[in-house]
DNA sequence: ACATTTGTAGACTGATTAGTCAATCATTAT
DNA sequence: ATAATGATTGACTAATCAGTCTACAAATGT
């Protein structure tokens, strides 16, 4: 078992349940089954652990977003695939997705450099910019577009998490809400 | 000067800057210009202070949302008024709005009873339900509708806060994004 | 074989924190 | 006037926490 990963996994779980500062490093170490010093061997400070966890989780999401997105499909189908993948991942990794949101609306987010944020958003913005260039997506600032899409997804995810839906019902909601979003931006 | 209010004001500022647990009650008291004991005289625990601050801030927003919303206007105009008011308030009270979001995506949100959340959302849901009944708004679960609208507003607010826009430019963005939202739900 | 680095452990510490307490001060009611 | 209640103070404490330190074990390179 990889202790470094075990620490991240446990930290995620506890941060989501209790919050960043209400989760002592000692508790993370104990529940991860490692010694106190081991945690600080891998992560020099608690902040570093939190930032590493965010980077790790965010990249896992990004990877999944673009899974099986063949470039041959139409822009709409590619976009729908990304949309669906994102919501699927969020539903299957609720704690992870919640953690990303929790982190993003916390002072820790300020520790990430603007460059890193820009770099992270770049591929998505390029994709959207292309959609505008080929006159499929309405002309508007890509930043605005990007934010609207992200918020929409966050909203759908929140709704899906608020109750227990059967899988087909859930699929139906995702399809219909995608149509709402797609109609809004095209 | 009202010390109780001074404590809330200072707590808001510090929570937004440093986070809940990274803000000691001693610091709040000192910066609010009151003694340590005074803080605990008004709020038995730190949690109680945090919850009181959330309730206070949320109710200030709700109050502003429905300001000058005459019931004589069309549903669209009333809705637009609420929409515009909300974004205006968020822009003029950035720390407050950010605090609400920060609180909502933190474990503290779990301390609020479901009844309280339901009660809080009731008037908004009723308004939307009415819009569906008179066949102005598309038929869909009001919870979903409500979440989509909230997310949309959060997104627009985030975009407006990301750069400095001139007042007319800002008004234009609000109007256009309202149209996007309105077209999406009707 | 041996040296060097890397991983792991857990007791320990100095600093910090939420909350208490006993004592005044201010205000209001009788 | 006097009692009673509420407001305010700041020193104090018991608990907790992030991070250190020393020691040893495992792996890796030479």
pLDDT digits (tens, 9 = 90+) for A59-101: 999 999 998 877 778 999 999 999 999 999 999 999 999 999 9
Calculate mean pLDDT across residues B104-113: 96
Which residue among A17, A21, A155 places its CB closest to the CB of B147? A155
Cα angle vertex A121, ends A118, A125, to 5°? 110
Token duo for residue B51: 């919850």
Residue B86 to residue A119: CA distance in whole angstroms = 31
Residue B11 to residue B109: CA distance in whole angstroms = 17
* Helical packing angle, B94-104 and B46-65, nearest 10°: 120
pLDDT band at residue B68 using 50, 70 and 90 as cut-offs: confident
Residue B69 reports pLDDT greater than 80: no
Q: How far is A161 from chain B (nearest CA, A)?
A: 11
pLDDT band at residue B40 using 50, 70 and 90 as cut-offs: very high
Q: Return the pLDDT at A136.
A: 96
- Taking the CA of residue A37 and the C1' sugar atom of nucleotide D24, their distance in angstroms comes to 14
Residue B30 reports pLDDT greater than 80: yes
Chain B: residues touching A (Cβ < 8 Å): 16-22, 98, 101-102, 104-108, 140-141, 143-144, 147-148, 150-152, 154-156, 158-159, 162, 173, 176-177, 180-181, 183-185
Query: For chain A, which domains are there?
Result: 1-44 (1.10.10.60), 59-185 (1.10.357.10)
pLDDT band at residue A150 using 50, 70 and 90 as cut-offs: very high
Q: Is the CB of B24 under 7 A from strand C?
A: yes
Q: Is the CB of B35 under 7 A from strand D?
A: yes
Residue A122 reports pLDDT greater than 70: yes
Calculate mean pLDDT across residues A105-125: 95
What CA dihedral angle connects B74, B75, B79 and B84, to 10 degrees? -10
Residue A107 reports pLDDT greater than 90: yes
Calculate mean pLDDT across residues A127-144: 96
Cross-chain residue pair A148–B155, CB shorter than 8 Å? yes
Calculate mean pLDDT across residues B85-95: 98
Helix (H, G, I), strand (E, B) or coil at A165: coil
Q: Which chain D positions have some atom within 7 A of a protein CB?
A: 7-12, 16-22
Q: How far is A63 from chain B (nearest CA, A)?
A: 23
Calculate the alpha carbon distances from B55 to A132, B96, B158, B172 in Å: 42, 11, 22, 32
Calculate mean pLDDT across residues B123-150: 97
**Cβ within 7 Å of strand D: which of A 13-42?**
21, 23-27, 36-37, 40
Residue A138 to residue A140: CA distance in whole angstroms = 6
* Residue among B110, B19, B94 at smallest CA distance from B28: B19
Token duo for residue A142: 């890509």
Q: Return the pLDDT at B1.
A: 67
Which residue among A140, A141, A158 places its CB closest to the CB of B147? A158
Q: Which stretches of chain A are DSSP H helices? A: 3-18, 25-32, 36-42, 46-65, 75-92, 94-104, 114-133, 142-162, 167-185
Residue A177 reports pLDDT greater than 70: yes
Q: Which stretches of B33-166 are DSSP H helices? A: 36-42, 46-65, 75-92, 94-104, 114-133, 142-162
Contact B55, B100 (CB under 8 A): no
Which residue among A16, A107, A162 places its CB closest to the CB of B19? A107
- Taking the CA of residue A69 and the C1' sugar atom of nucleotide C20, their distance in angstroms comes to 61
Cross-chain residue pair A105–B107, CB shorter than 8 Å? no
* Residue among B160, B12, B109, B157 at smallest CA distance from A17: B109
Helix (H, G, I), strand (E, B) or coil at B28: helix
Token duo for residue A104: 């993003």
Calculate mean pLDDT across residues A100-107: 97
Closest residue to C17 (CA to C1') is B24
Q: Which chain C positions have some atom within 7 A of a protein CB?
A: 7-12, 16-22
Residue B66 to residue A120: CA distance in whole angstroms = 38
């Amino acid at each position: 078992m990889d202790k470094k990963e075990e620490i991240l996994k446990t930290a995620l779980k506890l941060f989501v349940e209790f919050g960043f500062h209400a989760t002592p490093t000692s508790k993370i170490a104990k529940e991860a089954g490692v010694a106190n010093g081991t945690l600080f061997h891998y992560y020099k400070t608690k902040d570093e652990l939190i930032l590493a966890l965010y980077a790790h989780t965010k990249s896992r999401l990004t990877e999944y977003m673009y899974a099986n997105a063949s470039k041959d499909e139409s822009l709409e189908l590619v976009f729908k695939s990304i949309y669906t993948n994102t919501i699927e991942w969020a539903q299957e990794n609720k704690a992870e997705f919640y953690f990303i949101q929790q982190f993003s609306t916390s002072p820790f987010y300020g520790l990430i450099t603007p460059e890193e944020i820009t770099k992270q958003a770049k591929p998505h913005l390029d994709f959207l910019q292309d959609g505008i260039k080929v006159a499929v997506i309405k002309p508007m600032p890509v930043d605005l577009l990007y934010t609207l899409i992200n918020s929409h997804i966050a909203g759908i995810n929140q709704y899906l998490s608020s109750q227990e839906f059967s899988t087909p019902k859930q699929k139906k909601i995702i399809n219909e809400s995608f149509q709402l979003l797609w109609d809004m931006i095209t």
